[in-house]
Structure formats: structure tokens, C-alpha cells
């Protein structure tokens, strides 16, 4: 099977890291391709970045359909463009926040999401509610690390994250950490070892959840709110995205 992992931001070093994390856990038979869109922000930090990035996600899914992909993973913890992508993909589409939280719910009595900038907190809290995870997610913690800080060699990002995860365990009573940014995908093992609890990364979780769905022959239902887009005119610079 072929899975397309879309890093909705355009920072290639992060895409490479995400791709490596995805391939690391994929089955031998699974072909993983990790991409950044042709357009959009270099990092996604807030509602504006997120709305813009959805176009890039859509663009990549449309291209992916032509390329014959069996499923898609949206590798930004805001899950931008998820609903739109579901309507246009033949196969299943997951967001990493969604995949990470459902996966964590299988192994944890209560987890903390540890993310980047404070400004993302309300977006993440909204996702916690949207996915029905209020009973499992004890807190969304932010570190005031910028997304691209995670790309800087030799930064103290890792130690800041470990510190915040330790606080989550001690203060929130959480027994598991959900990493709240795709750019942390390479840190899961280290943080788990340092903190002594399972650490769930959405990139890895999402790949396995997609393999599961594709293996089951399951994809987004067309019988309800994720039916294919109706054929209609799109005007101006968006005409290229007109549903066919």
C-alpha cells in the first residue's frame, strides 16, 4: 500500500524528519512518501497559518489521487484541511492529533498534550473536545518553543520538552505524553526513556492507524457529511481546485 504523509508546512528539514519517523514504523509492504506542499507557510502557528496551509494539503491530496495513494496522513498537530481531504480522497485520511489521541487512549488512563507556542493552546483544546478526549486529556501544555526551534541543531528544545513532560506527570497526574507537534516526531523515544512513560507521536501513530484502515478495506463513508464535493464552479485563483 502507498501512504502519503503530508507535512502541511513547507520546511523540508521537518518533512524529512517526519518522513523518517513514518518510514521507521511502517510495515515492509507499506510505501511511505513524505511531502511538503508547493505553497503555504514555513510553519503553522495559529488559525491563520492553519487556514492557509489547508490549500497546500488539498493540493497534495488531489495530486496524490492521481498518483494512486491509498491513504493520507496530515502531519501537523492542528489537523488542517482534514475534513476537506476526506471528501476528495478515495482512501482514508487521518490527522496526527486525531491519531495520536485515539492511540494514547488505548494505553493511558490520562495523558497530557505537550506542544509549542501558547497561541496554539485553544486550537488544541478545541481538537481535544472535537475528538471526544476530554475524559482522557488532562491538560494541553505549551512550552513557548516555536515550531522551527525544533529544527535548530543544538537548541535546548529537547531539554525544555523533557522538563515540561516531567511537570505533566507530576502535576497533572498523567501517565502518558502526547507530542503536540509533528516536529517532535524524532524525540518520542528519548522523552519516553527520560520520563518513564509512554510517549505517543502522531506521525508514527497515524501511519499505523492508516495501515490498519487500509488493511481492513475501510475508508471515509460517502453516505453522510464526507460525500464527494459536488460539481460546481470555482472562480478566480481557486478555479484550479474546482471539484471534478
Please give the residues from 100 up to 129 whose contact with a copy of itself meets the rule CB under 8 A.
Answer: 102-103, 105-110, 118-123, 125-126, 129
Region near a copy of itself per CB under 8 A, out of 150-158, 159-167, 178-186, 202-210: 202-210
The nearest distance, CB 126 to a copy of itself, in angstroms, is: 7
Region near a copy of itself per CB under 8 A, out of 39-47, 156-164, 179-187: 39-47
Residue with cell 475524559: 135
Binders of a copy of itself among residues 60 to 89 (CB under 8 A) are 81, 83-84, 86-88
The nearest distance, CB 10 to a copy of itself, in angstroms, is: 5
**Which residues have C-beta within 8 Å of that of residue 185, sequence separation ≥ 6?**
17, 18, 20, 21, 75, 179, 201, 202, 203, 204
Rounded to whole angstroms, the Cα distance separating 135 from 88 reads 32
* Cell output for 239: 478555479
CB 34, CB 7: distance < 8 Å:
yes
Task: Tell me the site size for a copy of itself, rule CB under 8 A.
Answer: 97
HEC secondary structure over 1-32: CEEEEECCCCCHHHHHHHHHHHHHHCCCCCEE
CB 99, CB 202: distance < 8 Å:
yes
The nearest distance, CB 122 to a copy of itself, in angstroms, is: 3
202 interacts with a copy of itself by CB under 8 A: no
19 interacts with a copy of itself by CB under 8 A: no
What 3-state DSSP class applies to 44?
coil
Q: Which of 16, 48, 190, 193 binds a copy of itself (CB under 8 A)?
A: 48
Binders of a copy of itself among residues 171 to 200 (CB under 8 A) are 173-176, 196-198, 200
Amino acid at each position: 500500500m502507498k501512504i502519503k504523509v503530508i507535512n502541511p508546512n513547507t520546511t523540508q528539514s521537518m518533512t524529512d524528519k517526519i518522513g523518517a519517523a513514518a518510514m521507521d514504523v511502517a510495515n515492509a509492504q507499506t510505501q511511505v512518501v513524505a511531502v511538503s506542499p508547493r505553497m503555504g507557510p514555513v510553519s503553522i502557528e495559529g488559525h491563520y497559518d492553519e487556514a492557509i496551509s489547508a490549500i497546500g494539503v488539498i493540493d497534495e491530496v488531489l495530486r496524490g489521487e492521481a498518483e494512486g495513494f491509498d491513504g493520507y496522513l496530515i502531519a501537523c498537530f492542528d489537523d488542517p484541511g482534514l475534513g476537506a481531504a476526506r471528501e476528495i480522497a478515495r482512501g482514508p485520511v487521518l490527522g496526527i492529533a486525531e491519531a495520536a489521541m485515539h492511540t494514547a487512549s488505548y494505553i493511558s488512563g490520562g495523558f497530557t498534550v505537550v506542544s509549542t507556542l501558547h497561541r496554539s493552546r485553544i486550537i488544541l483544546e478545541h481538537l481535544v473536545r472535537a475528538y471526544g478526549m476530554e475524559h482522557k486529556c488532562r491538560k494541553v501544555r505549551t512550552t513557548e518553543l516555536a515550531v522551527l526551534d525544533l529544527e535548530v541543531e543544538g537548541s535546548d528544545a529537547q531539554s525544555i520538552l523533557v522538563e515540561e513532560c516531567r511537570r505533566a506527570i507530576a502535576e497533572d497526574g498523567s501517565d502518558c505524553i502526547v507530542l503536540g507537534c509533528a516536529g517532535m516526531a524524532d524525540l518520542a523515544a528519548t522523552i519516553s526513556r527520560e520520563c518513564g512513560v509512554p510517549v505517543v507521536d502522531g506521525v508514527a501513530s497515524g501511519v499505523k492507524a492508516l495501515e490498519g484502515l487500509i488493511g481492513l478495506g475501510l475508508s471515509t463513508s460517502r453516505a453522510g457529511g464526507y460525500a464527494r464535493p459536488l460539481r460546481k464552479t470555482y472562480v478566480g485563483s481557486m478555479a484550479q481546485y474546482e471539484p471534478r
